[in-house]
Amino acid sequence: TTAKSSAVDIECIFVDSDQYYMHEDGFDRDSKWKSKKKLCRTSIQRAESYLKNELFSASTHGEGCILLAVNLPFPILREFDSAAMFGNGPTVLSSVADILENHVKYRKALKTLAMCVQNLIRRQLEISYSSSSTSTNNKSTSEEQKRSTKLSVLVYSVQDDMFDLLTLSLKFHGKS
């Protein structure tokens, strides 16, 4: 679900225990689509309010914001985010492997969250690569590469009504 606001364009991705929904179209396949759609709308409203009070909104420069609404306790989300940001694995899933083992009750949802984040990384890298290969100005290409070397995602704990910022360094291998 995407909501337009005066400050930031927010894309909400709902992460369920066994699947994540990136667009409203995905809700139609689920029997509880109405509640998930409502949860995304509510999450977007809360994120807008949160972003109005934070410096993050000033740093997006109108580029938009990705919001992951997850039905997990905030301390576990914070632990997941830290492991994803500072882990040494080649993928998000391998970086958070210890978290999956430590929180067996939430393993399925955490694994789905890891796959969702990995998909976002892949999507960002594809966007970065296509924009660098179509650019003719080498100076602007290097500036785009620097800007696209990080992916910031706002993670929202639905249970605890708390936000965390997940920022990942991407390994971009574009043409220069």
Contact 109, 70 (CB under 8 A): yes
Residue-wise pLDDT for 13-71, tens only, equals: 888 888 888 765 555 666 677 888 888 888 888 888 877 765 454 444 446 788 999 99
pTM of the complete model: 0.70
Residue-wise pLDDT for 59-78, tens only, equals: 444 467 889 999 999 999 99
Residue-wise pLDDT for 115-135, tens only, equals: 999 999 998 888 777 766 665
From the list 70, 36, 65, 71, the residue with the least C-alpha distance to 52 is 65
Q: Identity (one letter) of the amino acid at 13? A: I
Strands 65-70 and 150-157, sheet pairing: parallel
Contact 120, 167 (CB under 8 A): no
Which pLDDT belongs to residue 175? 42
Q: Please tell me whether residue 57 adopts helix, strand or coil conformation.
A: helix
